[in-house]
Amino acid sequence: MRTVFKTSYDTDIDLHEHWFRRGRYLALLVFMMSLPFWADEYFLAEATNTLIWSLAGMGLMVLVGHTGQPSLGHAAFLSIGAYTDVALMNAGVPFLVSFPIAGIFAGVVGAIVAIPAVRMSGIYLAIATLALFVIVEEIVILLEPITGGVGGLFAPAIEIFGIPFERYAYLGNFYWLVLAVVVIICWGYANLMRSPTGRSFLAVRDSEVSARALGINVTRTRALAFGLSAGVTGLAGALMGHFIGFFNYELFSIFISINLLLVVTIGGLGFIQGAFLGAVLITAVPQVIAILRDGLNATAGIDLGAIPGLDTIIFSLLLIVFIIYEPQGLYGRWLKIRTWFEIFPLARRDMFRRQKSYLKTERSK
């Protein structure tokens, strides 16, 4: 077990409390950066997809995991981000400008919607966000000149300072672009969570009445969280549009919203790392099923392809299992396993019993 001897308040303020931990994240980053040099195209595309899902997952995590507000409508913000970005690029705006504007626009829409919506909580807010999703979907279909309506539209190729980031011909470049966005957002997110803003989110999540007593403007805080969440999700939507290449409103279906909720819940509510673990799971399961299907078909003659919606069934079962046995998700489980090894052989069965509690989001008052 590693004991950190704290000699300055900065040890607690820093993102990582010692160089070993910082080094592990750096090693992971270097590994991720090296991917295009050795991974094949299929794997690289999957990794890109996972990163985009992680980005969207971080967007939803701020809201659900850290501020305690559920949303069933986050596909709407993905869609707003994707269409804004493509519309601006089609109008001749370079990606470097259109991309942040897409995020900001999605964020502003989110914050505006939030002002009336955040007065609701639990199931009512979930329904309100679902309604928002339906409205956005209809607007996308109606705004045919910009969005291509039902027919859909092509995402133009990205080029920054003459360097091509086109998704098919230059997948490696596109992957690095996505990775850079994810790293920057993740860094900003982690910074928020160690500063007064992040603490006010947690305060609003855990006890509104005492948040008010501390002078926190609950409505404004929840609207800010909603706006930031929508903004980051919008960025993910823009990248998703470029990744898919050709898309229409069906890309951003209600199932995307639900899968995003799975990402944050199974990943671990209240942990940034949870968004990544959840994204890996949600993108890996369909691939594993595909591999299993081919394998079982060839060797045992079992045809998994004959079972429609197998991945949905697996996700649902996983969700139920996690909510009952591990409400803190994959990351919470990992923390416990790590602690078990760190203090081996001193771990006791009931060590984490008192910590098994649900966040307010999940209770949906």
**Using CB under 8 A as the criterion, which residues of the chain lie in contact with other proteins when the complex forms?**
9-10, 12-13, 188-189, 191-192, 194-200, 202-203, 205-207, 209-218, 224, 228, 270, 354-355, 357, 359
Confirm if 342 and 1 have CB atoms less than 8 A apart: yes
Residue among 2 and 298 whose Cβ is closer to other proteins = 2
Confirm if 44 and 184 have CB atoms less than 8 A apart: no
Residues contacting 19, CB < 8 A, separation 6+: none
Residue among 269 and 280 whose Cβ is closer to other proteins = 269
The minimum distance between CB 55 and other proteins, in angstroms, equals 15
Residue among 219 and 287 whose Cβ is closer to other proteins = 219
Confirm if 71 and 198 have CB atoms less than 8 A apart: no
Residue among 191 and 364 whose Cβ is closer to other proteins = 191
Residue among 257 and 328 whose Cβ is closer to other proteins = 328
Residue among 270 and 278 whose Cβ is closer to other proteins = 270
Question: Which tokens hold the place of 42?
Answer: 């299929």
The minimum distance between CB 197 and other proteins, in angstroms, equals 4
The minimum distance between CB 221 and other proteins, in angstroms, equals 9
